Structure 1
Amino acid sequence: MTISSGNILLVQSGGCTPVMNSTLAGLIKNGQTLYPQSRIYGGIHGIEGIIDGKIPDITELSNSQLKSLSKMPGAALRSSRHKLLPNDIGPLLNTLRAHDIRILHTIGGNDSAVTGLRVSEAAQEDKYELQVINLPKTIDNDIVLTDHSPGYGSAARFISQATFGIGKDAEAMGINSPICILEVMGRDSGWLAAASSFYKKTDHDAPHFIGIPEVIFSEEHFMISIESAYRNYGYAIAVVSEKIRSAEGNLGRDNPPTFTDNFGHNYFESPGKYLSDLVEKRLGVRCRWEKPGTIQRSFMDAVSTTDREEAYQIGRKAVEMARSGMNDVIPTLIRSSNQKYEYSIGSASLKDVAGEIRYLPEKYRPDEQGYTSDSFKSYLRPLLGNPIHDTDSIFHLL
C-alpha cells in the first residue's frame, strides 16, 4: 500500500485499561511528528462515533496535555462495545471520505480486531484506500501472538497487592470475618486471577485457592482448600475469575444471563457471592466477598511503570508502521531471552488475532493450594513494574 497523504482517525474500543490513554498519547504525539501535514481525528465512543460522524479534530493537543493524557485512566475518547452491522458500513465509509481519513488506528482487544478487519474489508470492497492498524490493550491478557498486552501489568499489580492486603486483613480479624472470596475480571482466561499468587511464599499465605476459567471448577475441591486453610491458619482467601465454570456450566447459575453484549458475551450474577454463601452455609462462619470490578482497571496508584511505558511506545510504533506502509496489522510485544527483562515491538496480522483467545498455559496454572510456578512469577515480575514491596513477616507471634 502507498504511504498515506490523507488524515488519521483514532478510536478506543472495549473495556478500559489503566494505560489505554498512554497508548493514545503515543499515537497522537508521533502522528504530529511523522504526519505534520495531516489532521488527527478522534472517534467519540469508538466505531459508533465514526458511524455517527462524531470525530472531532484533536491534532493540536499540546505536549503538556499529552503528558496528562498519558497518565489518565479510562478512555479519553470514550469507548464502545458495538458490533459492526451491515447497515453501519455506508455511514462509516461516508465519514471516512468526508474527512479524507486514510489511516485508522483502533486501540482494543480481540473483538476490536474483528471490527478493524471488517472495516478494512469494507474499504477494499468500496475501493477506498485505507490503512488499518489496531493496537493491543486488555487487562485479561488474552490477545494471541504477543508476550503480554498493555493493561495487564497494571491490573495484575492491583490484584496481587489486593490479595495480599485482603489476606492480612482476614488474618487480623480472625473469627469475626476469617474468610474472603475475591472475584476478579477475566472473561475467558485466568491470567489476572493467577497474578493474585505473586506474594504467596508459604502455605500460610494468601491465596489458598485460585479458580480460573481454563480449569473446571469443583465445589468439593474448593471447600477442601478453604476449610483446610481456615482450620490450619485461622483464615482463608480464595480468588476466582468472574466466569469460572463447573462441569454443569456457569457456576451456580440456573438463571439466564443478566446481560449479553453485542458480541454475544454473557454476563451472570457473581460467582463470588455464590461461593461466599456456600462457605457460610458449610462452615458456619462469616465469609466476605469482594468484587473490585472496574477499580482493578482504573486505579491510578496501581499503574505499573513497565505497563505505562510499553503502552506509550506501542502507540508511537503504530504510527511508524503506518508510515512504512503496513496494513491490517497489530503491534506485538516480544520478550528477549536475556535474563534481564527487555522487549521489542513486532507485528502480527489482524486476521490471525481477530476473535482468538490466549488462554493461561498449563505450566502457569495454579494448583489447589493457590500456588503458581516460579516460571509464572518470573514471567509476571517485570510486568508489575516498580516498586515491588517487601512482604516478609515482621512479627511471628503465633
Structure 2
Amino acid sequence: MEADGLLVVHGGGPTAVINASLYGAVDEALNTPGVGRVLGALGGVGGITDGNLVDFGQVSRDKLDLLPFSPSSAIGTSRKPLEDEDYRELAHALDRQGIRWLLCTGGNGTMDTCGKIWRACHEGGVPIDVVGIPKTMDNDIAVTDHAPGFASAARYMAATTSAICCDVRGLPIHIVIVEAMGRNAGWVSASSCFADESGTGGPDLIYLPERAFDERAFLDDAQRLIDEKGSGVVVVSEGLHAADGTPVAPPLMTVGRATYFGDVSAHLAKLVISELGYKARSEKPGLIGRASIAWQSPVDREEAIGCGREATRAVLEGDSGKMVGIERLSNEPYESRLIRIPIEQVMLDERTMPDEYINERGNGVTDAFRRWCRPLLGPELPRFASFV
C-alpha cells in the first residue's frame, strides 16, 4: 500500500474544542496536494491496531463544518495503557496501513505516547512523521502558554459559579462548596474568580491543589463567612491534599495515571455541618465542565483550529517529533502565535499554577492570574440583576 495517508488519533478526556483541532488538521490536510487519504482512528490508539478508521475524504462538507461546534471527541478517544512493545507494534501497524503522517491530540499522557511512537518509528526505521496537538481542560501541559480546551472549561466554570453565587445571594442560608476538575493543577478552579463579572459577586474562597489544604484554616474561613454574611461560595479542586500528600477525600479508584477522585465538595460540606453546625451543600459539575458547548470560548475554538492546521503543516514539512504550542505575545490586546516544541520537553511534564497567581493565604487568586487568564475566556459573562 502506498504510504500517502495522514491519520489523527485522540487520547485522554475530551474537551469542548478537541473537535475544533480535528477540524483544523483535517481541513488543512484535505486541501494540501500530495496527501492521499485523511483518516481518523476511531476509539483512540486501539483504532490504529484494529484498523478501525474513518476516511474524512468520504465525509460531507456539512458534517465536517459541524466539528468546531461539537462536544466530546467525534472520533472517540481512550486512556489505554501501553507497554514498550506496544509502541513498536503501533509503528508497524501504521506502516502496514500506508500511514505517512500521524497527529496525536491530547494532554500529558498522550504527548508521552506521541513521543514514544515517534521514537519507535525513528529507531525502527519506519518512515512516519509524528506531531502532537495539545489538548487538556486542566491546562497542565508544559512549555505552551496554555492548551486548547482550558479556556472553554474556564468560561464554563466562571459562568456556572456566577449563577451559584447569584442563587446564594438571593437565599443566604448556607455555605456552598463547588468542586472543579483538576488533578494536580488548579487552573480551572482559579478561573471561577471571573464569576464576579455577573455583578452579583464571585466566589468567596478558592482552594487549589498547588497549596497544602488545612482543614482547620478552611473551617476558620467558613466561620468568618457565616459570621459576616450568613453564607458563602467556596470553589475547590478535586485534587486537594494535605501537607503530607494525603487526599482530602480518598480516591475511589486509581488505574495508572487515571484517578477517580472522591467527592471533595461533599466531604467539606459535611465538615462544615458537623464542625460548625451550619447548613452546607456541595455541587460538582463533573463532565459537563469539559463538554459544555454552550460556554465554549470563541478564543479557545479559533486557537484549537489553528493548532490543528499548524500540526498538519508541521508534519507534512517533515518537522517530526514536535508538539504545537501557543506563545503569548501580549495581553492587551491579546495576541499569540503558534510555535513548535520538541515533544521530549513536554512528555509527562506537568505545569501547575505559579506562586504569583495564588494569594498569600492560599484561598484565592491574584490580579496577575486574572490578567493572564481573562483574554482567553472571550466575551464578558452576562450580567444579572439583584436588589439584595
Q: Does 1:167 align with 2:169?
A: no
TM-superposition CA deviations, 1:224-278 (whole Å, max 9, x none): 111111221121111111111112433345x6x4222333x43331111111110
Among residues 313, 318, 325, which one is paired with 2:318 in the alignment? 325
Among residues 326, 345, 352, which one is paired with 1:352 in the alignment? 345
- Equivalent AA in structure 2 for residue 377 of structure 1: R
Q: Classify the secondary structure of the residue corresponding to 2:21.
A: helix
Q: Corresponding residue for 1:262?
A: 256
Q: CA deviation at 1:120?
A: 1.2
Q: CA deviation at 1:369?
A: 8.2
Q: Return the alpha-carbon distance in structure 1 between the equivalents of residues 380 and 59 of structure 2.
A: 31
Which structure 1 residue ranges, 5 or more long, are not aligned? none
Q: Does 1:111 align with 2:104?
A: no
**What TM-score do you get using the length of structure 2 for normalisation?**
0.94
Q: Return the alpha-carbon distance in structure 2 between the equivalents of residues 369 and 206 of structure 1.
A: 17
Aligned 8 A contact 1:82 1:262 in 2: no
Aligned 8 A contact 1:51 1:88 in 2: no
Q: Classify the secondary structure of the residue corresponding to 2:294.
A: helix
Q: CA deviation at 1:138?
A: 0.5
Q: Corresponding residue for 1:220?
A: 216
Q: Corresponding residue for 2:376?
A: 383
Q: CA deviation at 1:323?
A: 2.4
Q: Return the alpha-carbon distance in structure 2 between the equivalents of residues 200 and 365 of structure 1.
A: 17
Aligned 8 A contact 2:172 2:231 in 1: yes
Q: CA deviation at 1:198?
A: 1.8
Aligned 8 A contact 1:208 1:226 in 2: no
Q: Does 1:153 align with 2:146?
A: no
Q: Return the alpha-carbon distance in structure 2 between the equivalents of residues 333 and 54 of structure 1.
A: 32
Q: Classify the secondary structure of the residue corresponding to 2:43.
A: coil
TM-superposition CA deviations, 1:296-321 (whole Å, max 9, x none): 00111100010111101111111111
Q: Does 1:67 align with 2:60?
A: no
Q: Classify the secondary structure of the residue corresponding to 1:133.
A: strand
Work out the percentage of aligned pairs sharing the same amino acid.
33
Please say which of residues 151-160 and 360-369 is displaced more in the overlay: 360-369
Q: Does 1:210 align with 2:206?
A: yes
Q: Classify the secondary structure of the residue corresponding to 1:77.
A: coil
Aligned 8 A contact 1:243 1:250 in 2: no
Q: Return the alpha-carbon distance in structure 2 between the equivalents of residues 151 and 18 of structure 1.
A: 6
Q: Classify the secondary structure of the residue corresponding to 2:111.
A: helix
Q: CA deviation at 1:63?
A: 2.6
Q: Where in structure 2 are the equivalents of 1:61-140 lying within 5 Å?
A: 61-89=59-87, 91-140=89-138
Q: Where in structure 2 are the equivalents of 1:288-367 lying within 5 Å?
A: 288-337=281-330, 339-367=332-360
Q: Return the alpha-carbon distance in structure 2 between the equivalents of residues 379 and 338 of structure 1.
A: 7
- Equivalent AA in structure 2 for residue 23 of structure 1: S
Q: Corresponding residue for 1:31?
A: 29
Aligned 8 A contact 1:22 1:311 in 2: yes
Aligned 8 A contact 1:18 1:151 in 2: yes
Which structure 2 residue ranges, 5 or more long, are not aligned? none
Aligned 8 A contact 2:206 2:236 in 1: yes
Q: CA deviation at 1:48?
A: 1.6
Please say which of residues 162-171 and 135-144 is displaced more in the overlay: 162-171
- Equivalent AA in structure 1 for residue 254 of structure 2: T
Q: CA deviation at 1:394?
A: 4.6
Change in Cα spacing, 1:367 to 1:172, as seen in structure 2 (3 Å) is farther
Among residues 188, 194, 202, which one is paired with 2:190 in the alignment? 194
Aligned 8 A contact 1:206 1:370 in 2: no
Aligned 8 A contact 1:83 1:115 in 2: no
TM-superposition CA deviations, 1:6-39 (whole Å, max 9, x none): 2111111101110000000111100001145410
Q: Return the alpha-carbon distance in structure 2 between the equivalents of residues 46 and 126 of structure 1.
A: 22
- Equivalent AA in structure 2 for residue 184 of structure 1: A
Q: Return the alpha-carbon distance in structure 1 between the equivalents of residues 261 and 187 of structure 2.
A: 20
Q: Return the alpha-carbon distance in structure 2 between the equivalents of residues 172 and 394 of structure 1.
A: 8
Change in Cα spacing, 1:367 to 1:291, as seen in structure 2 (3 Å) is farther
Q: Return the alpha-carbon distance in structure 2 between the equivalents of residues 371 and 194 of structure 1.
A: 7
Among residues 237, 241, 244, which one is paired with 2:237 in the alignment? 241
Q: Return the alpha-carbon distance in structure 2 between the equivalents of residues 278 and 35 of structure 1.
A: 62
Aligned 8 A contact 1:209 1:369 in 2: no
Q: Return the alpha-carbon distance in structure 1 between the equivalents of residues 362 and 107 of structure 2.
A: 31
Q: Classify the secondary structure of the residue corresponding to 2:178.
A: strand
- Equivalent AA in structure 2 for residue 180 of structure 1: V
Q: Does 1:184 align with 2:146?
A: no
Change in Cα spacing, 1:7 to 1:21, as seen in structure 2 (3 Å) is same
Please say which of residues 296-305 and 44-53 is displaced more in the overlay: 44-53
Change in Cα spacing, 1:293 to 1:366, as seen in structure 2 (3 Å) is farther
Q: Does 1:229 align with 2:193?
A: no
